[in-house]
Structure 1
């Protein structure tokens, strides 16, 4: 008989009257387990004869557990298939393993697959999706699963095995071994519910209110979660001020957990421990103990595993582990995990990132993207993030917002505040979600980086410029003075104050163009464009002075008083950037100023004129720039889409973001004290 099953049945002799399995309406005592398993084994043998492997394709429940144990008793490999596998993944896994049949919610199904070369001793074939989306079957024996589960019990203690509430699918090895087997070996109650009953009908679209309510109603004392589930539970508890006071253990694994998320969980009383593991090692390799936690680590290695670091920081695990994959048996030997880690003086392991995804910036700094991503998704505005930018000066990120109106910029800023300068996000853009359905996410929630980057459409630079400056543009448009101007709700005093600052920055437009032109002599396309702009813009500051006179203002005072400090900052930044940086950045300033002029001309000028009763001659600068800058913007789009230098593109994006914020500061500095009376 299976050594794992023997150990579980030993509990039937010791604690026969205790409840082993509970689904809310049906309970099975430990002493009843052997009979239930024998009955299921008989049914499997009759319906799916022969020695071939059998899949389990059922929802979480008592029958899933009994089928799993029955296959152990029969010595037949079990293929637990996660409910989130796509049809093609499911079919590939069944064919790869040569499945003889499957146990489903509707009964048992026979298959006619060719016999596969399964390593001797295989008890479970755990399929991971692999980096290309093709399932890879890891073959495990019952000794490894027993060793792993016993090591978990030894680390946490029998006393914590009271009521375990599975949230992850049982087909996920982490829950199967660390949840089910460890609970049964410790004599606890495994309180299993179908996914729909716990808010996980779609495991990637969590009903957090239902999940928290189900945990609370179950009186669960232990959970195993992936970081996303922990984040959703923490978010819900913070919002509602509810608490899950009966929990004594919340083990989190599957991917790196942001330290800030753990700290938030601590503050609301969730007893979180971190773990680390691999399917190849039976699921869990290291785990914190409740009395020995050092936030940011994943604890000491378990008894069945020995951990060391290679010269490049790669984590290497030694012990009795997986038997190989289908058709490729493996002898015991060290497993090179591909993960980068560190070990502290007390022997606790920390996970830094993945060796294969390591980013090396143009400054020569190594950055594990998982580290930065963890800080991003710890922010409530951000649901998912992928960081990239190998060889670039600044890191980039694709951001999936947590809600339609989420302030992504604020989330990125908060994450950046927790990171050193070299690891901060310099550029980001919104993204649609990453999911297993489109092969951008593995079934256990890891990013498929190559697939995500491949999904990015090859798009014109102008579209990238619009996308990557959208948050900064939104900040500018949210400035109260600009909103009031667009709505026509400003006083004559405020309008004159705006014209005064417009004069002081527009008077520098042509000098800035000439400075940019002098640095772009080797780029004739940009020089020609600047020549056209210079001819077009010469003397426009005089238009503004004419408007000031027509509106009853004092032009001599405007010239004499000079710019506000906010206007001076914007102009000074432009000069410094063109002198000391890439002069192509000037076109980022063009993008901001002309785009804003279009908005003011089309939405604000006539509304302001009508509300103030001023003549049309007081609005020549705005109204002329409305039509003029629309033509300029069409020309600008064609121009920048013809760029062939990434450094120029990056400089334009950076300058546009800077000027959006500086221009917003210019508007914010305009006084509006008497505007209510004017409105």
Structure 2
């Protein structure tokens, strides 16, 4: 057994709650832009004073409508200004926010609203309102439905016009640090989602210590962050609350469809995202270079960036020759890549899945450092992360200051600290199992090095045991295979089988470009090319790269290319883009069987 901890850098207020943040910002930084919103397609700054006034106006409406202290109020919307506004308004009304993914089905909405006992919900679009309406007769506790696009925020403002500032002040001060701030329902890769109760203390300990440890990334008046993650996910909430605590300017966009344009317009200094975002940035840049006939130059530049970054971790550092090459490519390639990211961004924080060492070195080599972290809903997002001044690429960093990471005898990662969840809502049995002996049992397998840097090697419940008795952690090889531009997703199989196989889906965005370059018929699809020798050879190269990271017994011997991508809509991915392995295994049982037939 091994464990590591760091002293806390932030002291959680004994009696405070998250509403203190907006009041403090208005008092100490009244004219600082703490958030920005899109008005007529252009970014418009919102000062701390204005934001507090808008939060209080919405809170008054909630109070006037009968929302009581401790009530659960749900939010079902894409990432946008009003999400953050209403989150703080719900807290200011003394209530508890229950996020609902805007892509949730009627059954999921019914379960979350019913299980949490939500008395009200704010939705964004007509489609969201229709989903709620379809199950409303089964939700007797649900009294109010407001719609953002239907003027819901203004409606709240009118409803609360007779509520005094003193009433909001009193209601907003009722919740203490150990009271629930939110109930975040886990993505549910297996079974029904469980509601994680995160307290005001959880967020204070989490965000306060992150801001202090990464202070150069959170300089008030200088730094800004663009949020494009779903706010129904705990990582998105971290990206919302931490900038407010700093404070630095926060911008929100609903998705990554036009991310390049949004980055160019907002010009953030910090980005927080999942590995797939950074993989897309790299793959898009490489594909564009190849299309422009500059593929070889890009590849040489990428190799130089990786070599330069690796050399930074040696005692000698980069050689003179490497520095010269690096400077040359900075003018030709790296500066253009940084411009695509907005031109001002220096750091990113990546979580949700492993990034991969090669990509980590590539980005640091071009002057854009991606700090990898690790966490779960139960740990209020990041429980470890790489410090800005002592990064170890390939690890998920050191423990959050004030917390402890322990590796159990069987390799499971255990956690202890103020940032952890209070328990699962209405589920004592699951709570007792997860919080045994005062430690949260993550279900992840990992190791700590001598400096307390954590590596995650797999999920305890996802370990595959082949017929030969070999234990295989799927994540290691899946992440390497998925890094290939053509690969959208990869799922390793082989439990109880004679060898390891894999199901692979093709990235539709890059397939068309690849098909053109390789002389395939116009309009080719993954289904039409599933047995194409050239495509199979390209996927095999990705598999070979993945196999290089594991032993022969753990390597993928055979794979099948599927006709369609795994998506949230198809039911194969969670809203946070994690594989629902049991669903994939069931729906593609015939494809898996085919791997082992010959």
Using the size of structure 2 for normalisation, the TM-score is: 0.71
Residue 157 (structure 2) pairs with residue 99 (structure 1): no
Aligned partner of 2:401 among 278, 286, 303: 303
Q: Tell me, yes or no, if the aligned pair for 2:218 and 2:243 is still in contact at 8 Å.
A: no
What is the rounded CA distance, in whole Å, between the counterparts of 1:452 and 1:360 in structure 2?
18
Residues 422-466 of structure 1, C-alpha deviations (whole Å, 9 max, x = no match): 2221010012322222332222122121211111244797xx3xx
The SS at the match of 1:266 is helix
The SS at the match of 2:227 is coil
Q: Tell me, yes or no, if the aligned pair for 1:314 and 1:336 is still in contact at 8 Å.
A: yes
What is the rounded CA distance, in whole Å, between the counterparts of 1:337 and 1:379 in structure 2?
29
Count of aligned positions:
451
Aligned partner of 2:48 among 24, 30, 47: 30
More helix by share: 1
Residue 568 (structure 2) pairs with residue 436 (structure 1): yes
- What is the aligned partner in structure 1 of residue 29 from structure 2? 15
The SS at the match of 2:382 is coil
What is the rounded CA distance, in whole Å, between the counterparts of 1:420 and 1:459 in structure 2?
25
- What is the aligned partner in structure 2 of residue 574 from structure 1? none
Distance verdict in 2 for CA 1:247–1:238, change over 3 Å: farther
- What is the aligned partner in structure 2 of residue 505 from structure 1? none
- What is the aligned partner in structure 2 of residue 291 from structure 1? 389
Q: CA deviation at 1:2?
A: 5.0
The SS at the match of 2:451 is coil
- What is the aligned partner in structure 2 of residue 401 from structure 1? 506
- What is the aligned partner in structure 1 of residue 454 from structure 2? 349
- What is the aligned partner in structure 2 of residue 322 from structure 1? 421
Residue 581 (structure 2) pairs with residue 449 (structure 1): yes
Aligned partner of 2:230 among 169, 173, 176: 169
What is the rounded CA distance, in whole Å, between the counterparts of 2:484 and 2:265 in structure 1?
28
Distance verdict in 2 for CA 1:76–1:313, change over 3 Å: same
Which has more radius of gyration?
1
Residue 260 (structure 2) pairs with residue 212 (structure 1): yes
- What is the aligned partner in structure 2 of residue 184 from structure 1? 244
Residues 13-68 of structure 1, C-alpha deviations (whole Å, 9 max, x = no match): 22221101102334310122322211010122234534421111223222111100
Residue 200 (structure 2) pairs with residue 142 (structure 1): yes
Aligned partner of 2:84 among 65, 75, 96: 65
Residues 86-120 of structure 1, C-alpha deviations (whole Å, 9 max, x = no match): 2321221111111111112369999673569xx98
Give 1:524-563 correspondences, 5 Å limit.
none
What is the rounded CA distance, in whole Å, between the counterparts of 1:140 and 1:11 in structure 2?
23
- What is the aligned partner in structure 1 of residue 542 from structure 2? 411
Q: Tell me, yes or no, if the aligned pair for 1:75 and 1:123 is still in contact at 8 Å.
A: no
The SS at the match of 1:3 is coil
- What is the aligned partner in structure 2 of residue 602 from structure 1? none
Give 1:345-384 correspondences, 5 Å limit.
345-384=450-489
The SS at the match of 1:191 is strand
The SS at the match of 2:496 is coil
What is the rounded CA distance, in whole Å, between the counterparts of 2:366 and 2:590 in structure 1?
45
The SS at the match of 2:84 is helix
Q: Tell me, yes or no, if the aligned pair for 2:493 and 2:502 is still in contact at 8 Å.
A: yes
Residues 624-670 of structure 1, C-alpha deviations (whole Å, 9 max, x = no match): xxxxxxxxxxxxxxxxxxxxxx7xx4xxx3xxxxxxxxxxxxxxxxx
Q: Tell me, yes or no, if the aligned pair for 2:493 and 2:592 is still in contact at 8 Å.
A: no
Distance verdict in 2 for CA 1:272–1:167, change over 3 Å: same
The SS at the match of 2:367 is coil
> Please, what is the CA RMSD of the aligned residues?
2.6
The SS at the match of 2:574 is coil
What is the rounded CA distance, in whole Å, between the counterparts of 1:258 and 1:338 in structure 2?
21
Distance verdict in 2 for CA 1:460–1:391, change over 3 Å: closer
Distance verdict in 2 for CA 1:460–1:46, change over 3 Å: closer
Residues 518-565 of structure 1, C-alpha deviations (whole Å, 9 max, x = no match): xxxxxxxxxxxxxxxxxxxxxxxxxxxxxxxxxxxxxxxxxxxxxxxx
- What is the aligned partner in structure 2 of residue 227 from structure 1? 275
- What is the aligned partner in structure 2 of residue 512 from structure 1? none
Residues 130-166 of structure 1, C-alpha deviations (whole Å, 9 max, x = no match): 2335222111111111110111112211543511000
Give 1:78-89 correspondences, 5 Å limit.
78-89=97-108
Q: Tell me, yes or no, if the aligned pair for 1:212 and 1:233 is still in contact at 8 Å.
A: no
Q: CA deviation at 1:12?
A: 2.3
Q: Tell me, yes or no, if the aligned pair for 1:155 and 1:287 is still in contact at 8 Å.
A: no
- What is the aligned partner in structure 2 of residue 663 from structure 1? none
What is the rounded CA distance, in whole Å, between the counterparts of 1:459 and 1:148 in structure 2?
43
Aligned partner of 2:184 among 126, 137, 157: 126
What is the rounded CA distance, in whole Å, between the counterparts of 1:183 and 1:425 in structure 2?
43
The SS at the match of 1:265 is helix
Give 1:244-283 correspondences, 5 Å limit.
244=338, 245-283=343-381
Residues 285-324 of structure 1, C-alpha deviations (whole Å, 9 max, x = no match): 0010121111111110002421101110000001232122
Q: CA deviation at 1:358?
A: 0.8
Distance verdict in 2 for CA 1:358–1:337, change over 3 Å: same
Q: CA deviation at 1:419?
A: 3.5
Q: Tell me, yes or no, if the aligned pair for 2:503 and 2:592 is still in contact at 8 Å.
A: no
Q: Tell me, yes or no, if the aligned pair for 1:163 and 1:221 is still in contact at 8 Å.
A: yes
The SS at the match of 1:284 is strand
Using the size of structure 1 for normalisation, the TM-score is: 0.62
Q: Tell me, yes or no, if the aligned pair for 1:158 and 1:186 is still in contact at 8 Å.
A: no
Distance verdict in 2 for CA 1:258–1:393, change over 3 Å: farther
More strand by share: 2
Which deviates more from structure 2 when the two are superposed, residues 211-220 or residues 259-268? 259-268
Structure 1 unaligned residues grouped into runs of 5+: 200-209, 469-645, 654-679
What is the rounded CA distance, in whole Å, between the counterparts of 1:8 and 1:288 in structure 2?
28
The SS at the match of 1:165 is strand
Give 1:458-477 correspondences, 5 Å limit.
458=590, 464=594
Which deviates more from structure 2 when the two are superposed, residues 402-411 or residues 34-43? 402-411
What is the rounded CA distance, in whole Å, between the counterparts of 1:49 and 1:3 in structure 2?
18
Q: Tell me, yes or no, if the aligned pair for 2:560 and 2:591 is still in contact at 8 Å.
A: no
